[in-house]
Structure 1
Amino acid sequence: MPRATLVEVIREMGMTDPRLLAAFAATPRDRFVPPRSISRAQLDQPIPIGHGQPTSQPSLVAQMIDALRLTGTETILEIGTGYGYQTALLARLARRVYSMERYADLAEHARANLAAVDVTNAEVVVGDGTAGLPGHAPFDAVVVSAAAAEVPEPLAEQLTEGGRLVMPISGTIADIVTLFTKRQGRLIQQRRVAPAQFVPLVGKHAKGGDEPPHRSTCL
């Protein structure tokens, strides 16, 4: 299946932003999966990358990024780097990306993968994503690739006034990718983006505390 097919899948879902489509066309997903899974890289499906984590399903990544309405001037905080595929896409659409990954080995893979495709405006940091990166805040946009019952307070605090945050909110049947904006210092829910199934967000500020992942993702 040629890489252009992923672009067509995204377009057929109603996402027509030429910058978004160009970013997907220019980002070789096969560089962002384990070698054993390269044959599946151009399929619109999640792929395991270790530690019970997946690299994300491209069409869902596209919906999350599209909701941010990026113009190219933003500084973005990403929670959940994985192998760096979404990071690379964000870097093509924004001024600067700071991406946080809990597992050091995944972060190393992501750094190598980003360097291999000449992404120079993204930095991968190992740490607790629920705490964000206060030293680099505020952020114009935040994207979280794991589910929790609510947005961790530090991430809301580090979002600039008028900024957008996309995150799956835990549900009983499915998680709901939800778009928020920050108005007068508070997060306001704007719309539901898509239902899906995500690994749980882990960290000090995730509701429920530091719990190990207990379910697979459809991201």
Structure 2
Amino acid sequence: MTNASQARSSMIEGQLRPNNINDENVIEAIASVNREKFVPKAFAGVAYVDEDIRVAEGRYLMEPMVFGRLLSEAHIKPTDLVLDIACGTGYSSAVLARLAEAVVALEEDDGLVETGTAVLAEEACDNVAVVKGDITAGLAKQGPYDLIFINGMVDDVPQTLLEQLSENGRLVCVLNDRGVGKASLVTYKDKVRGVRTLFDAAIPPLAAFARKEEFSF
């Protein structure tokens, strides 16, 4: 067993299972992805620690426990089409690809799009398409999506994204509730938004989803 596979096993047994992440499909998906390939080489040795790992300006690999719990709560089916927002270097997309039928990975930065495409190809993620675009706008032309996954804490979920969900679609993210991160499951059925809080989660924010300050005179 290599050092990386040992670290991956330790992450699963020491971080995921003790936090009630026991969905074997999720466990197997995470176990099958080389997390160390999606971080800068200098951070490969700490790729499996229980912290968010910065991979680019404003982009992080989410803490494994939070990531795993979000995946478990999403109840991903093998027929699902997933939109992975702010995919960074593509780690979340690689794991989602093991659970869903197809993944559209959305990023804004040319460098991240290039890096993500290359690493996902190396990891044989043939059912992932990395696309450059506005992460707050989504990608309606490829939808509707059964699941939208947002990588980072957001102040709110834009209506534009909710309208890209399929009839029984769901969106998982971490919402900023007055400075406290709340992992949430968001639905949009019959034009009614529903939000269910899942657990507390402290992860870095996505600047693009920051609430615009209103000025009063």
Q: What TM-score do you get using the length of structure 2 for normalisation? A: 0.89
The partner residue of 1:208 within 180, 200, 212 is: 212
What SS class does the counterpart of residue 59 from structure 1 fall into? helix
Q: Distance in 2 between matches of 1:7 and 1:134?
A: 35
Matched, 1:23 2:29: yes
Instruction: Give 1:5-20 correspondences, 5 Å limit.
Output: 5-8=10-13, 9-20=15-26
**What's the counterpart of residue 215 of structure 1?**
none
Counterpart CA distance in 1 for 2:77 and 2:152 is 24
Structure number, greater radius of gyration? 2
Distance, in Å, in 2 between the alignment partners of 1:193 and 1:160 is 25
The answer for unaligned runs of 5 or more in structure 2 is: 1-5
Q: Distance in 1 between matches of 2:199 and 2:164?
A: 22
How far 1:207 moved relative to its partner? Answer: 3.4
Tell me which residue corresponds to 2:59.
Answer: 53
* Structure 1 unaligned regions, length at least 5: 210-219
Question: What is the identity, as a one-letter code, of the residue corresponding to 1:43?
Answer: V
Distance 1:144 1:50 in 2: 16
* Shift, 1:105, TM fit: 0.6
Identify the residue that residue 162 of structure 1 maps to in structure 2: 168
Q: Is 1:189 matched up with 2:190?
A: no
CA contact (8 A) 1:77 1:99 kept: yes
Please state how far the C-alpha of 1:22 moved relative to its aligned partner. Answer: 0.4
Aligned to 2:123: 117
CA contact 1:175–1:198 (8 Å) conserved in 2: no
**What is the deviation of 1:201?**
4.1
> Residue 24 of structure 1 aligns to a residue in which SS?
helix
What aligned pairs does 1:129-168 form with structure 2 within 5 A after superposition?
129-168=135-174
- Who is 2:39 aligned against? 33
| Map of 1:2 onto structure 2 | 7
Q: Considering only aligned residues, what root-mean-square deviation do their CA atoms show, in Å?
A: 1.6
Spell out, residue by residue over 1:50-99, the C-alpha distance to the aligned partner (whole angstroms, 9 max, x if none): 21322221111111111110121100011111111111000000001001
Query: What is the alpha-carbon distance in structure 2 between the residues aligned to residue 103 and residue 62 of structure 1?
Result: 26
Distance 2:186 2:178 in 1: 20
Q: CA deviation at 1:139?
A: 0.3
Q: Name which of 66, 73, 80 aligns with 1:67.
A: 73
Q: Distance in 2 between matches of 1:108 and 1:194?
A: 33
Query: Does the C-alpha gap of structure 1 residues 201 and 77 become closer, same or farther in structure 2, counting only changes over 3 Å?
Result: farther
What secondary structure sits across from 1:97 in the alignment?
A: strand
| Equivalence for 1:171 | 177
How many equivalent pairs are there? Answer: 207
Q: Secondary structure at the match of 2:208?
A: coil
Tell me the amino acid that sits aligned with residue 128 of structure 1: D
Classify the secondary structure of the residue corresponding to 1:181: strand
Contact 1:179–1:193 (8 Å) recurs in 2:
no
Q: Is the 8 A contact 2:180 2:200 kept in 1?
A: no
